[in-house]
Amino acid sequence: MSEGKLSVSSQVLLWTLQRASAAVLAVCVVVHLITMIYAVRNGLSAAEILGRTRGNFVWFAFYAVFVLAVSVHAPIGLRSVLVETFTWRGRGLDWTVFAIGIVLAFLGFRALWAVFL
Amino acid sequence: MAVSTLRVSVWRGTESGHLQTFEVPRLESQTVLDVVTHIQRSLDPTLSYRFACRVGMCGSCAMTVNGRARWTCRTHVSEVMRGEALEVRPLSNLPVIKDLVTDMTPFFDKWAQARGSFQGATTRRDDFARVSPETPERRLADAGIECIGCGVCYSSCDVVAWNADYLGPAALNRAWTLVNDVRDTDRRSRLAAVAGDAGCHACHTHMSCTERCPKKLSPTASIAGLKRAAMMAALKGELGDE
């Protein structure tokens, strides 16, 4: 393994995680869109929506999975885009996309917590 | 025949250069290689190009014809002509030595990096290995084995253009044929050599290689096979680093 570069098996595991998270996202996005369309078409108010999400562990679990899948999928995809567009490689790139994943997870869970509590 | 003369623009120079236009008599059943040969033999003997067999076996004569990489010996002018015009350039994604001749060194170096040579465990004193052509592994190997190393896929690949380290379709296709060769003993290190950011997992499945391969092979399918095999090896902890 050369200095500053992820091992080949780590690169393959990142690829595998991205494919697996994409499969999860495909389901999550469909459920999320159906939910949004239902809420809009039925004229649900913010209070009515919060009434359904607060204390609801099913919705909490669903969106927790959604947030986790996004936090895994987006940084790995961004890593490939940065490699190919800017020929950026090495530890700096890996830490940057890792940090982006943490930020996405933090923002997602903060929003989820706000509609659960 | 509607056109009696072809206007042929040919790349002259190295990485920097210009297109030079020649007028070449249009003949029946004329190939692009016939056109380039006519220019060199009758109009400008300083034109450099590469060919050997002229019958689609050796993989020497690939060039970019009207914007697409092709084997010129088996490409009829009638298939690719735009009006009376024909534009011939060297292959993309490779350094240009002169005119239509590219330096194939990076292309073949990557075959070596992908461990594209057979590693056996037997000697000439051992009996022949008996491999049924009907086994799934042999069928997969046979599907990719007819590559002639022309470089058309490598020249057509977007990922090669974006990522200079990427091994490319031909080297990965070769590795896949060996991964499926039951006599080969180097499977584990070969999978490690072809996996990851510069290997099969960088492929975007654009399929330009498969569309343009003159031998009608599918490097895309071979690369997909490598992705799965390397992923299984990584999950089992069997993908050692080189």
Non-local (6+) Cβ contacts of A1 within 8 A are A7, A8, B241
Residues of chain B contacting A8 with CB distance shorter than 8 Å: 192, 195-196, 199, 234, 239, 241-242
Domain boundary among B102, B129, B145: B102
Q: Are residues B149 and B54 in the same domain?
A: no
Residue A12: which of B164, B230, B242 has the nearest Cβ?
B230
Q: B49, B27 in Cβ contact below 8 A?
A: no
Same domain (yes/no): B163, B224: yes
Place of tokens 């090495």: A90
Q: Is residue B241 part of a domain?
A: no
The angle, 0 to 180 degrees and rounded to 10, between the axes of the packed helices B219-235 and A8-41 is 100
pTM over 0.95: no
* Same domain, yes or no: B96 and B117: no
The answer as to whether B240 is a domain residue is no
Residue-level pLDDT at A75 = 97
Report the CATH number that the domain containing residue B80 is assigned in CATH. 3.10.20.30
What's the token pair of residue A103? 């930020």
Cα B110 to chain centroid distance, Å, stands at: 12
Name the residue range of residue B120's domain.
Answer: 105-235
Q: Do A12 and B202 touch (CB under 8 A)?
A: no
Query: Is pLDDT above 60 for A1?
Result: no
Substitution target from A3, A5, A9 for chain B, most B beta carbons within 10 A? A9
Q: What is the spatial distance between Cα A110 and Cα B78, in angstroms, rounded to a whole number?
A: 64
The minimum CA-CA distance between A86 and chain B, rounded to whole Å, is 9
Name every chain B residue with its beta carbon within 8 A of the beta carbon of A84.
Answer: 159, 162-163
CA distance B219 to B159: 13
Whether residues B162 and A12 touch (CB distance < 8 A) is answered with no
Rounded Cα–Cα distance for residues B175 and B166 (Å) = 14
Same domain for B177 and B154: yes
Contacts of B87 (CB under 8 A, 6+ apart): B8, B9, B10, B19, B65, B66, B67
CA torsion through residues B181, B182, B183, B187, sign = positive
Q: Are residues B123 and B219 in the same domain?
A: yes
Give the C-alpha separation, B104 to B170, whole Å: 12
Is the ipTM of this structure higher than 0.90? no
Burial of B90 (0-12, 13-18, 19+ CB in 10 A): buried
Task: Note down pLDDT in tens along chain B; length 242 residues.
Answer: 556 899 999 999 999 999 999 999 999 999 999 999 999 999 999 999 999 999 999 999 999 999 999 999 999 999 998 777 899 999 999 999 999 999 999 999 999 999 999 999 999 999 999 999 999 999 999 999 999 999 999 999 999 999 999 999 999 999 999 999 999 999 999 999 999 899 999 999 999 999 999 999 999 999 999 999 999 999 999 887 55
Rounded-to-integer distance, Cα B85 and Cα B87, Å: 7
Rg over CA atoms, chain A: 18
Residue type, B154: Y
The partner residue sitting opposite B201, judged by closest CB among A1, A11, A87, is: A11
CB atoms within 10 A of CB B215: 15
pLDDT at A2: 47
**A85 part of contact set with chain B, CB < 8 Å:** yes
Q: Give the model confidence (pLDDT) of A76-92 as tens digits.
A: 999 999 998 998 888 99
Q: Give the residue on B whose Cα is nearest the Cα of A12.
A: B196
Minimal CA separation from B238 to chain A, in Å: 9
